[in-house]
Amino acid sequence: MTSEALVPLDPAWPAMTLAQTDALLTAPGARFEMETVDIAGVATRTWKNAPPTLRFLAQAIRAHGGRVFTVYQDERVTYEANWRATAQLANQLWSMGVRKGDRVAIAMRNLPEWPVAFFAAASIGAIAVPLNAWWVGEELAYGLSDSGAKVAILDGQRHDRLTPHYDALPDLEHVIVSRADASLEGPKFHRLEVLIGTPNDWAGLDDVALPDVEIAPDDAATIFYTSGTTGQAKGALGTHRNICSNILSAGYVQARGMLRRGETPGEPAPKVSLLVIPLFHVTACSAALMPGVVTGSTVIFMRRWDPLEAMAIIEREKVQFTGGVPTIAWQLLEHPERDKYDLSSLDTISYGGAPSAPELVKRIYKEFGALPGNGWGMTETMATVTQHSGEDYLNRPTSCGPPVPVAELKIVSQETGETLPTGDVGELWARGPMVVKGYWNKPEASAETFVDGWVKTGDLARLDEEGFCYIVDRAKDIIIRGGENIYSSEVEDVLYAHPAVIDAALVGIPHHQLGEQPGAVVHLAPGASASEDELRAWVGRHLAAFKVPVAVKFTDAVLPRNANGKILKTELRGLFAAEEA
């Protein structure tokens, strides 16, 4: 068995092979039993016991009753209160004329209102359209126009940004605003608090039924906009099956880890999680929120990410799970005041959306005593395709894990289109019940990206003999120096291993003879120091000379990222204008 283990593992691990865990957990009658269904003409493996729709899920999680669902500052909302607000808002949307297939946009920071709006829209068959709350007014207007949203549910800040653009949005019939500072003028504007009250009021709302509507698993449910590093955002049209698949995928990975450890899986227990990535991103909404609500977990929101405040919340609320992107874990580890807080409740720190260095995996385990976790997915796969956790992650820290059983991966040659053998690097293609229908109103882009149930990811990857996936680079980010391929993640991993570095990116610098050369941008830990020559020498001790950055630039802040946590390398390349030759 391949091993690059960062820490000594129990000699008895693994107690089962992956094939054995798959066979046991997916056996007929088991919780993770699979079945094959026809999805758009493609025979697809699916989770037999996944919730069929978001409407079903919204009603089912009401059973958690008085357990606390969301926490935001001094607002604590139970599952019962959340249900009452969801049903009330669903009826308000119905009264506004929203019907199956209509788009309801949501643009707000992570607030208790967010899941209420999301479940209310999806429960009546509307398509929920989470918009990037970081967008400026023009970008938000693009999302509303492109999706043809009939209703927008906003917080006050997003409403303020959109105010100059409403006249150019004729399809937008109603705007519901939460926490508005100013008065709302005009018949199409509504205060959310007038419709359903504030979060602290929801427990006292009347218990009403949802409007009657038939919804099938493969009906459209969401439009999440891609947040790639280049180009205009595209809306990925997802189904109820897509997003509900993550619930069983997350549970499967937890059970698999226990069997590999020699333990017997039980019923998933509720946890307290600190969710610091935005819900308009599939990692938060699909991979984190959906599995969490099934277990009755408590989800804590922050107004904005601040590591000092996060540590205070972890101590006060006994948070067990957090993460999102690697930067969050690094900032917790490197914070100079970390020792002042009791973070011993943390048992899992998981992330996706961006590559992570092996050094981070080791430090999470050794310094926090928590199990690290990561995975691979994209907006077009509604998040989870592979998941990696616990000892498997410690054993293969540069992998993003094997695919969950309902997913398939293959490596395809970009030159010939042929499937490549084990170990070869090519473009990663993925297939499964999590792959979205396509791009909203973009048939040409859909035809280019989605082929017979497969999604062409644009990631360069390889698979090992046990099916573990290794992402080596984005196809468009690979650096080719004089005909030699340089995978940026390889060099970035070495930079991350330097004790002074907590954020790093490798970019290509144009060169008239070699085509391009590698340049590095790094952010150092508080109080740490390292020179350009020291970091170049560090890389040179670990990698071939042609992979050593020709220049290293330092930044005072962490590197710029999009909403998925991916570093915006286009913004960094300008730092190297003087090095072009």
CB 494 within 8 A of CB 538: yes
CB 373 within 8 A of CB 350: yes
Q: What CATH class does 54-215 carry?
A: alpha beta
Joined tokens for residue 270? 């509720």
* Relative orientation angle of helices 18-25 and 240-260, to the nearest 10 degrees: 120
Domain 478-579 has CATH 3.30.300.30: yes
Q: What CATH class does 18-50+236-474 carry?
A: alpha beta
Residue 404 pLDDT > 80: yes
Q: Is 453 helix (H, G, I), strand (E, B) or coil?
A: coil
The strand pairing partners of 298, in sequence order, are: 272
Each residue of 494-521: pLDDT tens digit?
Answer: 999 999 999 999 999 988 677 789 999 9
Each residue of 117-164: pLDDT tens digit?
Answer: 999 999 999 999 999 898 889 889 999 999 999 999 999 999 999 999
Each residue of 71-81: pLDDT tens digit?
Answer: 999 999 999 99
Nearest to 349 by CA among 374, 367, 366: 374
Task: Kindly state the percentage of the chain with pLDDT values over 70.
Answer: 97
CA dihedral 352, 354, 358, 359 (to 10 degrees): -100
Whole-model pTM?
0.87
- Residue 207's CB is within 10 A of a number of other CB atoms, namely 10
- Residue 208's CB is within 10 A of a number of other CB atoms, namely 11
Residue type at 225 in one-letter notation: Y
Residue spans in the chain of domains classed CATH 3.30.300.30: 478-579
What is the average pLDDT score of the chain?
93
- Residue 345's CB is within 10 A of a number of other CB atoms, namely 15
Average pLDDT over residues 192-217: 98
Q: What local confidence, expressed as pLDDT, does residue 92 receive? A: 98
Q: Is 112 helix (H, G, I), strand (E, B) or coil?
A: coil
Q: Is 359 helix (H, G, I), strand (E, B) or coil?
A: helix
Question: Which of the four pLDDT bands, split at 50, 70 and 90, describes residue 1?
Answer: low
Each residue of 232-255: pLDDT tens digit?
Answer: 689 999 999 999 999 999 999 999
Residue spans in the chain of domains classed CATH 3.40.50.980: 54-215
Which residues, including other chains, have CB under 8 Å from residue 244's CB and lie 6 or more apart? 50, 51, 52, 53, 54, 57, 217, 290
Which residues, including other chains, have CB under 8 Å from residue 361's CB and lie 6 or more apart? 6, 372, 393, 394, 397
Question: Which of the four pLDDT bands, split at 50, 70 and 90, describes residue 581?
Answer: very low
CB 72 within 8 A of CB 112: yes
Residue predicted with more confidence, 542 or 213: 213
Joined tokens for residue 86? 């969801």
DSSP3 helix / strand / coil % (the chain, rounded to 5): 35, 25, 40
Residue spans in the chain of domains classed CATH 3.40.50.12780: 18-50+236-474
Residue predicted with more confidence, 515 or 533: 533
Each residue of 451-493: pLDDT tens digit?
Answer: 999 999 999 999 999 999 999 887 777 888 876 778 788 899 8
